[in-house]
Amino acid sequence: MAMLEGKTALIFGVANDHSIAWGIAQALHREGAQLGFSYAGPTLEKRVRPLAESLGADFIEQCDVGSDEEIAAVMAKAKERFGTVDILVHAIAFANREDLQGRFVDTSRDGFLLAHNISVFSLVGLTRAALPLFPESGGSVLTLSYYGAEKVAPRYNVMGVAKAALEASVRYLAADLGPQGVRVNAISAGPIRTLAASGISGFRAYQKSFAAQAPLRRNVTIDDVGATAAFLASDGARGITGETVYVDSGFNIMAMSSEEE
């Protein structure tokens, strides 16, 4: 039997078919989950709708996660459409382009708050709003992080600091919600060429050196991340919560580039 048969997942963060959220959506669909999608704003609807429909979804609703009203509205619609939701996927981040170049020390107050609002608070806001939708048996919340949360990655700057806050939020949410059976985990993915990644200068060169240094000697794909997301959302991961799981070809275990051997 497919791992997610009978489960419903709400997916936030598909922008196009390169999005990590799209890799996750395809994997959850393959494992039998029923899907609902949310997109950030009107210009994205024409991209997201056909993708969602190709997986049989009819719940395709706008939600700018910077708005409490839009978060409440999308969850109310999901409750009406599905009754209960078992899996919440948060694959959302945003920072001003100027804050993803130069020095972290030059980050403006507004840029810092914006990155944390859209990339971190949104996980807390969406999870809280989804609580009444999880069935009594519990649920699974997944978010996406990056190694720049732990170690300094050039030009990742304010987003690295936001990802550190995101990973800490995963632990605090997991502790709060564990007693009601809701698990909260992050996947720390290696660099993947997506719309969000295009805002980080020097990304191509970084992917090249990443693949050279990682034990598996390759970059990861949205399918790799999707497969892990499907596992984490499944009953097979029933004992895992509050964790950051790496899908990064093993990059994070290396202290030094193997090119230097």
Instruction: Give the footprint of ligand NAD on this chain (CB under 6 A).
Output: 13-15, 19-21, 40, 44, 64-66, 91-94, 118, 144-146, 189, 191-192, 194-197
206 is catalytic: no
- Is the CB of 133 or the CB of 196 nearer to ligand NAD? 196
Smallest distance, ligand NAD to C-beta of residue 62, A: 9
Smallest distance, ligand NAD to C-beta of residue 1, A: 29
Q: Which is catalytic among the residues 39, 146, 147, 246?
A: 146
- Please state, in angstroms and rounded to a whole number, the distance separating the CA atoms of residues 69 and 74: 9
34-39 vs 139-145, strand pairing mode? unpaired
The amino acid sitting at 249 is S
Q: Which is catalytic among the residues 39, 147, 156, 246?
A: 156
- Is the CB of 101 or the CB of 138 nearer to ligand NAD? 101
Smallest distance, ligand NAD to C-beta of residue 71, A: 9
- Is the CB of 84 or the CB of 221 nearer to ligand NAD? 221
Smallest distance, ligand NAD to C-beta of residue 37, A: 10
Smallest distance, ligand NAD to C-beta of residue 66, A: 5
- Please state, in angstroms and rounded to a whole number, the distance separating the CA atoms of residues 242 and 171: 4
- Is the CB of 139 or the CB of 148 nearer to ligand NAD? 148
- Is the CB of 21 or the CB of 177 nearer to ligand NAD? 21
156 is catalytic: yes
Catalytic positions? 146, 156
